[in-house]
């Protein structure tokens, strides 16, 4: 039998493949990945990353202030790469690149051609929120990707009529609950969107309810952990709200913030996408996504969430806006020039704002550049961040602080070191001691703050305690002697990281008995 000879792919077709929509999307995704990897070690480790690292040494189905998903990623990174910062940040960088790719796929699934796919993917790059959060290993790095995975499942279910995608939706939603609880807002938006559109027929699909069951089963272990530990996350959220720590924004200000948070140059794109989804005849089958956004935004406003909490949903609007842009410009020859001009403006915006949201410059260079542009990043919390915005300030000062602690610790005789506790009033300093401590011969730290409170006082009695992040006034009431061992004052760190280290002796109460009253969730 003669094997037929296959004709080679025509050269023209092969060349088109490398400039197709999916190819352009992959190029953009690769550029985002490379940018994050090249800047991963520019500054230092972020406060939350050390916390997740500490939590990964105490694997559980839940934690006071977050689900276990990101801790699992930290556990994997720790076993693969140790304390290598680039290895720790590989996973959020990959999540950012995957978000670019998935946004391009959303545009393609909505009927977008090469321009729409490339523009949707390109829109991810200059978003300050994504540039910041794909730099760190935190819950927020994976949240937009999971949300858009859920949206893609809904989109495929609509386009193919195959109910199996609702099962995938449920599985991803369950993973979302194990990553960050805010996925509940997206689910509420999708459900409301279904009720408000002809897509309500999916409520009869057995796959939808199988997906709901899968979501519940995946989220169940964390729920049981929360119940067993008396709902610490709800207690934490209550304390945060009553403390007034977060910056509260009114409805109008909250909506206006969206344009700034997502980069003003992208405002016409995502607003156009929302309008297209809600009113365009050609997008009637996708109306559910327009209502999903409106309901999700409304819930965050009513519940007084931080203004950046809506950020994970915008890639859906970028995709819709890119499809609308492609269609409008294709039938209006006088607008064809915008097909080049607008992507160029997006790239210019990226070039201008990237130094404000990525560690491209030295701290001195950043401050000079910020002053030149006259842009001051908004703060989501009431705190003194020092000269740098919080997202950069939290990468400075940790190892020098631990070096100071080590100096005090090793000034003690060996027999005293074994019974000396390193106590911090905040989990950030405790996590820094745990992260850098092995390098300087320090024991694990203790703290009454959030998850550290659950881990307890680690058998320390309080006979000798090195106290961090304290004014020293309250310590003088609880110890027989308190000695000021020097100040920690990293110039670029947050100002609440400026404190004196106190060496305290002779705790006047039993530490184990007092621990239950020291709990501090916020």
Q: Summarize pLDDT for 146-158 with one digit per residue, the tens.
A: 999 999 999 999 9
With a cut of 50, say whether residue 5 has pLDDT above it. no
- 8, pLDDT greater than 60: no
Is residue 244 scored above 60 in pLDDT? Answer: yes
pLDDT by residue (tens digit) across 491-514? 999 999 999 999 999 999 889 989
| Residue extents of the structural domains in the chain | 13-357, 398-515
Q: Residue 12's pLDDT is what?
A: 44
The rounded distance, in Å, linking the Cα atoms of 430 and 437 is 10
pLDDT of residue 319: 98
pLDDT tens digits, one per residue of 351-408: 999 999 999 999 999 999 999 998 877 676 677 889 999 999 999 999 999 999 999 9
Q: How far apart are CA 240 and CA 107, in angstroms?
A: 38
What does the pLDDT read at residue 247? 72
Mean pLDDT of 310-334: 95
Report yes or no: 493 and 386 within 8 Å, Cβ to Cβ: yes
The whole-number pLDDT of residue 123 equals: 98
Q: What angle do CA 150, 155, 156 make, to 5 degrees?
A: 100
Q: For 452-466, what is each residue's pLDDT tens digit?
A: 999 999 989 999 999
Between the alpha carbon of residue 6 and those of residues 10, 59, 255, the distances in Å are 12, 55, 58
- Please give the average per-residue pLDDT across 278-298, as a whole number: 95
Average pLDDT, stretch 220-240? Answer: 95
Tell whether the model's pLDDT for residue 245 goes beyond 90: no
The DSSP bridge pattern shows strands 420-424 and 445-446 to be: parallel
Phi and psi at residue 498, in whole multiples of 5°?
Answer: -95, 110
Tell me, what's the pLDDT at 380? Answer: 67
As given in the structure block, the two tokens for residue 304 are 């007084």
Encoded tokens for 446: 């203790």
pLDDT at 74: 97
Question: What pLDDT was estimated at residue 489?
Answer: 94
Which pLDDT tens digit goes with each residue over 35-91?
999 999 999 999 999 999 999 999 999 999 999 999 999 999 999 999 999 999 999
Q: In this predicted model, what pLDDT tens digit does every residue of 118-144 receive, in sequence order? A: 999 999 999 999 999 999 999 999 999
Judged against a pLDDT cut of 60, whether residue 299 lies above it is answered with yes
Q: Is the pLDDT of residue 309 over 70?
A: yes
pTM score: 0.93
Tell me: pLDDT of 241 over 90: no
Q: Show the 3-state SS of 349-410.
A: HHHHHHHHHCCCCCHHHHHHHHHHHCCCCCCCECCCCCCCCHHHHCCCCHHHHHHHHHHHHC
- With residue 68 as reference, give the H or E element that holds it: none
The mean of the pLDDT values for the chain is 93
Helix (H, G, I), strand (E, B) or coil at 469: strand
User: In terms of DSSP H, where are the helices of 161-228?
Assistant: 164-177, 183-195, 206-228
């Amino acid at each position: 039998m003669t094997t037929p000879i296959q004709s080679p792919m025509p050269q023209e077709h092969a060349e088109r493949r490398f400039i197709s929509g999916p190819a352009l999307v992959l190029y953009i995704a690769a550029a985002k990945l490379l940018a994050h990897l090249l800047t991963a070690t520019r500054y230092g480790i972020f406060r939350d990353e050390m916390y997740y690292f500490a939590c990964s040494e105490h694997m559980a189905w839940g934690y006071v202030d977050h689900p276990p998903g990101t801790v699992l990623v930290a556990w994997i990174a720790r076993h693969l790469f140790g304390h290598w910062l680039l290895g720790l940040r590989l996973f959020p960088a990959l999540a950012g690149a995957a978000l670019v790719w998935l946004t391009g796929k959303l545009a393609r699934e909505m009927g977008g051609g090469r321009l729409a796919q490339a523009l949707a993917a390109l829109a991810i790059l200059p978003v300050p929120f994504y540039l910041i959060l794909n730099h760190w290993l935190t819950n927020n790095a994976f949240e937009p990707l999971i949300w858009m995975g859920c949206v893609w499942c809904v989109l495929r279910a609509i386009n193919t009529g195959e109910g199996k995608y609702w099962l995938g939706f449920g599985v991803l939603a369950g993973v979302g609950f194990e990553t960050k609880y805010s996925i509940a807002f997206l689910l509420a938006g999708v459900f409301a969107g279904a009720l408000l559109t002809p897509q309500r027929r999916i409520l009869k699909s057995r796959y939808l309810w199988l997906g709901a069951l899968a979501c519940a089963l995946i989220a169940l272990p964390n729920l049981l952990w929360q119940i067993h530990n008396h709902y610490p996350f709800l207690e934490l959220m209550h304390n945060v709200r009553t403390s007034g720590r977060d910056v509260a924004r009114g409805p109008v200000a909250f909506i206006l913030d969206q344009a700034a948070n997502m980069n003003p140059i992208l405002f016409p794109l995502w607003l156009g996408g929302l309008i297209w989804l809600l009113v365009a005849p050609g997008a009637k089958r996708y109306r559910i996504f327009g209502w999903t956004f409106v309901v999700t935004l409304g819930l965050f406003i009513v519940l007084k969430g931080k203004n950046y909490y809506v950020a994970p949903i915008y890639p859906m609007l970028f995709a819709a806006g890119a499809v609308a842009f492609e269609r409008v410009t294709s039938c209006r020859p006088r607008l064809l020039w915008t097909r080049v001009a607008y992507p160029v403006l997006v790239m210019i915006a990226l070039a201008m704002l990237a130094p404000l949201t990525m560690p491209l410059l030295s701290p001195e260079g950043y401050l000079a550049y910020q002053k030149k542009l006259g842009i001051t990043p908004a703060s989501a919390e009431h705190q003194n961040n020092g000269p740098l915005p919080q997202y950069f300030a939290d990468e400075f000062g940790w190892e020098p602080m631990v070096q100071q602690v080590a100096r005090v610790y090793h000034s003690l005789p060996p027999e005293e070191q074994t019974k000396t506790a390193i106590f911090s009033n905040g989990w950030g300093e405790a996590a820094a001691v745990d992260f850098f401590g092995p390098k300087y011969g320090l024991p694990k730290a203790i703290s009454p703050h959030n998850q550290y409170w659950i881990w307890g006082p680690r058998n320390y009695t309080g006979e000798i305690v090195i106290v961090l992040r304290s004014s020293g006034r309250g310590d003088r009431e609880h110890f027989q002697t308190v000695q000021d061992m020097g100040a920690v004052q990293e110039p670029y760190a947050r100002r609440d990281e400026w404190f004196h280290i106190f060496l305290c002796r002779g705790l006047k109460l039993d530490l184990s008995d007092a621990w239950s009253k020291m709990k501090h969730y916020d």
